Homo-oligomer: A and B are copies of this chain.
Amino acid sequence: MIERLCIIGVGLIGGSLARALRETGFCNEVVGCGRNPVHLQQAVDLGVIDRFDTDPARAVAGADMVLVAVPLGAMESVFESIRDHLAENAVLTDAGSAKGSVIEAAQRAFGAVPGNFVPGHPIAGTEQSGVAASFAGLYRDRRVILTPADTTDPGATARVRAMWEAAGAYVTEMTAVHHDAVLAATSHLPHVLAYTLVDSLARLGDQDEIFEYAAGGFRDFTRIASSDPVMWRDICLANGDAIELQIERFIEDLQALKGAVHAHEGDKLLEIFTSAKQARDRHTGK
């Protein structure tokens, strides 16, 4: 149970967690924090939070659980502003899509990574953003990855785990480095490819014609290119090394495929396409 949950950054991610925990009664009070009072009032009107404060230092006062769900580029300044104001019994966690950079930000802001800080990442979201898009079921049957360090208080980790489980998620733990490598491959690279493809097509001669003939598969393929550009800029800056590695791997594989097209190697193409189809059908379902 959480007595007072403070959510800094009440958007799709923070708002959906608040909705889920209120629905199940896992949390007594939710205090929102953000820079825009209009958005925060909207969150109150929608019943997502009980009240809000635009000052992080005041917002975290007395909260036993604090979730920072702001873009990666804003983590450090949020940590700085709450540093001296967290309650004795407070557990601090975040929802950033890259973990190494958030841990470094905490290190800089707090002097050392606090034992009550549990870095986390809910693998959920849509290409929508904002509290209006939030819904209680966002985390149901989805994965949440926690990346506690050796110095993290196990009790703090257990409380963050219980919170996400109450929202319906499966929680797993791994190192921050492993998280950042896996996510670079499964999430960051696909987003980079989708953005690059759409931008690339948009710069072709006749944009209207190009998109007119893009079929249904294209719409699915590029949906993630409608994601929040600021969030994805921050992810690319925060997890740059791992993303670069994945882009390099991908370019090598794409060069090999281009070579097979050039050399009319039908068997090789069929092998690649068949292995991809089998892997996708097996792992992600249709």
Contacts and interface: CB of A to CB of B under 8 A. Distances in A.
Contact of A197 (B190, B202, B208, B262): B190
Would you call the interface of chain A mostly helix, strand, loop, or mixed?
Answer: helix
A169 to B, nearest CB: 12
A143 B213 contact: yes
Contact of A145 (B143, B213, B240, B251): B213
Contact of A237 (B197, B212, B269): B269
Interface string A205-222: 001111111111111111
A152 B140 CA distance: 58
A260 B236 CA distance: 9
Interface residues of A, number: 89
Interface stretch (A4-12, A20-28, A277-285): A277-285
Interface of A: 73, 123-127, 142-143, 145, 182-183, 185-187, 189-202, 204, 207-227, 229-230, 232-233, 236-237, 240, 243-244, 247-251, 253-255, 257-258, 260-262, 264, 266, 269-270, 272-277, 279-281, 283-286
